[in-house]
Structure 1
Amino acid sequence: MEKVLKDTFLSRSLTVINDLSIDEQLFLYNQTRRLKEKWFNKEDVSEFMIKGNVGIYIVFIEPSTRTKESFINAAKFHKNAKVTIFDSNLSSFNKNESYVDTFNMLTGYSDYSIFIVRTKLEGTCKLLEKSVSDFAVRNNLIVPSFINAGDGKHEHPTQELLDEFTFLEKNNFDNSYIHIALVGDLLHGRTVHSKVNGLKIFKNVKVDLIAPQEILMPKHYIEKMKSNGFEVRIFESIEKYLKQKDIANIWYFTRLQLERMGEDILEKEFFLRKSVTFKKEFLPLLPQDVKFYHPLPRHKIYPTIPTFLDSLPLNGWEKQAINGYWTRIILLSMFGGALKYNSNNNTDICNNEEYIISAPVINGTKGVQKDGKRGIKPIENGTVIDHIAKGKGADEIFLTILKIRKIMKFFDIDSADGIFKSEDGKLKGYISLPDKYLSKREIKKLSAISPNITVNIIKNSRVTEKYRIKLPPKVYGFEELKCKNENCISNPIHGENVKGSFIRNNNGELICEYCETPHDYNEIWDI
């Protein structure tokens, strides 16, 4: 019996490379390979074309030539699709109009819409995916797809697709191993940030990072690569890299993104360029099978890959750029329903982990009186929050108490607080709230403000319930949440009225759901 395939890519979005599973990415690369073979063999390629009333909107709010033109031509391959190209200089985005409202309105103009969006604000496509999907459901419309064509210094997932396809071509589509050197501005380069997860299509990965400390890849991305099982090595310049013998056969260069650098880094521009620019005298030190790649365009005066290399076998960047056309055709084919794939993809990041844990109440009356002797105002009914910032200094405990009071709005009710020593000699703080019982939502909020504390529920002078709370797997839904990244679409300065949302990683950091900036739990509150 023939297997029935589902339109699993309809209404899907590509906001970061991880939105496609490894199997789905490999499906895309295999379909791209098929399309190229059929095209150059002059065979029928209509199976890849989108059918029906589909609108493809190319919305580049940040200037672009290469990516924009690549998408325009890829969209025109789909002859039945309605292609609309936005001129950002004339659009509503320059009149301080809401992103969400604009895309909500556009969603109703076709039976089904695919939006290709490039913006300086990080996490924009993630916001649109969530908010416009809600709008579509409310109005009985098909949920549209959003494709991130680059957002600030966050990610560039469609560039990652064409890069990985190019690497596979070089390896004759063997994905068992890759050894790659990432060279250049690894701090601001969103194309290399996408490789942190994009390279997972290879079963074994070795990554050499070549950049001075000032523009080295952010620490959380390096740690993520290691947690993905990559072997990671760091070198501060090409010259030092070439002094050792284990040299990658794939080099991926990026330009210095001066427009995103602060004055402290710009002062070192000459030194930084020298460290990551290839020189003619380096040629004899390269293995024979090395290929250079670059997302293009290069800097016209100070290219990290000088133009004297254009005619050499090292040149892999020209075919790489052309592959952008083919991979983007296939991406649109998938999201437009022309290509079907039976996927078991599960994008649910959060889990049902218990982070509010009931603890045994050994002797409720004794516990209340014992605390009372240490300075807590005895209460007959209410809540005592205990073990606040246990083991920290008195100043930090005091500031944590103030933070809890401010965020939880405890200043408006009768209460008491203080600092004392626990039985093990460590300092801890407490807040007692007479006649106040915390709701489940309030306890959830408290767990993200000050994890590892204890909440005691007291009735008739006895502790009747005790909860030990940990940092939750996801923190969202509270007005006071704020991403510290000022380039994030959720940051209040951009006026999109987005509530902050954070997901805890394996290291205990809270990752912004929009721009993926890591935070300590103390950094997510706008106070």
Structure 2
Amino acid sequence: MKNDFLGRSLSVINDLTVDEQIFLYKQAQRLKEKWKNKEDLSKFQIKTDTGIYIVFLEPSTRTKESFVNAAKFHKNAKINIFESEHSSFNKKESYVDTFNMLTGYSDYSIFIIRSKLEGTCKLLDEKVSDFASRHNLPSPSFINAGDGKHEHPTQEILDEFTFLEQMNFNNDYIHIALIGDLLHGRTVHSKVDGLRIFKNVEVDLVAPNELQMPTHYISKMKQKGYNVRIFNSIEEYLKQNKKAKVWYFTRLQLERMGEDVLEKEHILRKSVTFAKDFLSLLPQDVKFYHPLPRHKTFPTIPTFLDSLPVNGWEKQAINGYWTRIILLSMFGGALNAPFDTSKKSIKINEEDFVVAAPIKDGRKGVLTEGKRGIKPIENGTVIDHIAKGHSPEKIYETIMKIRKILMFYNIDSADGIFKSADGNYKGYISLPDVHLSKKQIKKLSAISPNTTVNIIKNGRVKEKYRISLPPIIYGFEELMCKNENCITNPKNDENVHVSFIRNEDNQLICEYCETAHTFEEIWSL
């Protein structure tokens, strides 16, 4: 049984199980207590020749310096700091090639990375681990210090640790209000999974519609059993009786907003900025938190609150030092857990999207439609029920998309649109002497789910399948994540093939940046 964390990475907060997070928080609590009592702290220090690379590909002060000082706690480690403005990464050098080379410079390496490109740590964890395996090197660890508007798992760790401190490390229940720019704030996105360390969770989302939490994150919280409520402003929130005792504010990320939203800047700011008039409406023992820094002109937590008991953000910021020391202790091999720390892989049944359907009669294919125009074929495939229920224009568009992506345009075939007996339109493609491969059927299911595939031999339907949206979609060159800041997007020149996981709402989630897509949106053609 593996008990150490060597070779583990933290790309998203979900990379640590609940048990592993609780272990981290208890170790951070012990470290703080020993430091206050002036006890020996050497057991938390990395003992081996470890290279800690702090690679910030976008500017940062607080997170970077927090990690620099946490790394200096580990006296045996070699610390290397890459500044964004001076880094050779700005010369269009391949991320993968660069980190492959850096991996060979120490007995073991930990990379702490901040990047505008979302999914960078996941990519490097995959590719550099392959490189290390090829050359008999230990797999390095990667720590995501913030990637675009995706996630900030190390911020989430210090946040959850601070919440636990407020609750005397009782993780039975939390009621939290998330306030501010919930659309772009990566720290609140991390809370969707981070809050699962609590057995019961109530979340109040306080933001105007233009800045509200993305719907797929809200859906994900509900699926986890969180009780979620939505409010448009702090003023509206304070008018109701059930108020949280943990308030988590984020700044408005204007640099990520379009002109139509910026025109409402004043109204948006007011809706998520705390005012003096609100003080009398607060519940007793409430604490305010903020990932910092605050906007110096328009802080959502105004400075008049700094000296009041609601101030929890200063202690929160200090906790970043302690939790990051422990994270490095774990990934550097100084701390072992009393349970199995092997990386857990999620098993997906990749075949669950193809279901054999009964054949009502054996006549020529779907040729009961023959009188309405389908030309009978002796052998081949008929794709039926294409985009059923949509408009003829949408069905025709889907037929053309299938033809283009599956390269059926050079095949002597027929297609058309019919009105079914139930009054809905549907499309078909008839392919004489063509038998679809398994890969083609999977691609078809991702282009046009809820379609029927009929295999025809000697003029009769021998096999019939109903196909739905696959649980995982990958391996097709035509796939593309619509998020331009995703590491897989072609404009970023990293030559990464994107893959998508189907969630419970039949959305397709990019495995790298976790952007939600419909099946129509994943194709570059």
Find the counterpart in structure 2 of residue 422 from structure 1. Answer: 420
Give the one of 497, 506, 509 matched to 1:511. Answer: 509
TM-score (structure 1 length as normaliser): 0.96
Rounded to whole Å, the distance in 1 between the matches of 2:367 and 2:254 is 63
The answer for unaligned runs of 5 or more in structure 1 is none
Residues 1:91 and 2:71 are matched in the alignment = no
Q: How does 1:68-217 map to 2 (within 5 A)?
A: 68-217=64-213
Deviation string 1:439-493 (CA, Å, 9 cap, x unpaired) is: 1111111111111111122222222222211111000110000111111111111
**Which of 362, 365, 368 is the equivalent residue of 1:364?**
362
Task: Confirm whether residue 251 of structure 1 aligns to residue 256 of structure 2.
Answer: no
2:482 alignment partner in structure 1: 484
Offset, 1:422: 3.4
Give secondary structure in 2 for the equivalent of 1:185. Answer: coil
Deviations 1:184-218 (A, max 9, x none): 11111111111111111111111111211111111
User: Over aligned residues, Cα RMSD in angstroms?
Assistant: 1.6
What is the TM-score normalised by the length of structure 2? 0.96
The answer (yes or no) to whether the contact 2:365–2:382 under 8 Å persists in 1 is no
Separation of aligned partners in 2, 1:100 and 1:349 = 27
Q: Is the 8 A contact 2:366 2:454 kept in 1?
A: no
Question: What SS is found at the alignment partner of 1:365?
Answer: coil
Query: Partner of 2:34: helix, strand, or coil?
Result: helix
> Distance between the aligned counterparts of 1:217 and 1:354, measured in 2?
31
Q: Equivalent of 1:279, from 275, 279, 283?
A: 275
One-letter code aligned to 2:394: E
Alignment of structure 1 residues 221-260 onto 2, 5 Å: 221-260=217-256
Q: Tell me the SS of whatever aligns to 1:367.
A: coil
- Distance across 2 between alignment mates of 1:216 and 1:45: 43
Is 2:14 aligned against 1:15?
no
- Give, in whole Å, the separation in 2 of the partners of 1:287 and 1:370: 69
Taking the aligned partners of 2:422 and 2:185, their CA distance within structure 1 comes to 49
Distance in 1 between residues matched to 2:366 and 2:347, nearest whole Å: 40
The question of whether the paired residues in 2 share the 8 Å contact of 1:70 and 1:325 is answered with yes
Tell me what 2:384 maps to: 386
2:402 to 392, 401, 404: 404
**CA deviation profile, 1:250-270 (whole Å, cap 9, x unmatched):** 111111111111111111111
- Aligned counterparts of 1:422 and 1:214: Cα–Cα separation in 2: 41
Report runs of 4+ in structure 1 exceeding 6 Å deviation: none
Give the letter for the 1:112 counterpart.
Y
The residue type equivalent to 2:63 in the other structure is: T
1:8 CA drift (Å): 4.3
Unmatched 5+ residue regions in structure 2? none
Contact 2:365 2:456 in 1 (8 A): no
Is 1:125–1:146's contact at 8 Å kept on the other side of the alignment? yes
Residue type of the alignment partner of 2:512: Y
Contact 1:391 1:426 in 2 (8 A): yes
Note the alpha carbon deviations across 1:347-398, whole angstroms, 9 max, x for none: 3163355211223445433435434333222222221111111222211111
Q: CA deviation at 1:427?
A: 2.1
Say how many residue pairs are matched.
523
Q: What secondary structure sits across from 2:83 in the alignment? A: coil
C-alpha separation in 1, matches of 2:88 and 2:162:
37
Whole-angstrom CA distance in 2 between matches of 1:430 and 1:280: 65
In structure 1, how many angstroms separate the alpha carbons of the residues matched to 2:186 and 2:278?
Answer: 27
3-state SS in 2 of match to 1:164 = helix
Of 277, 285, 292, the residue aligned with 1:289 is 285
CA contact (8 A) 1:253 1:293 kept: yes
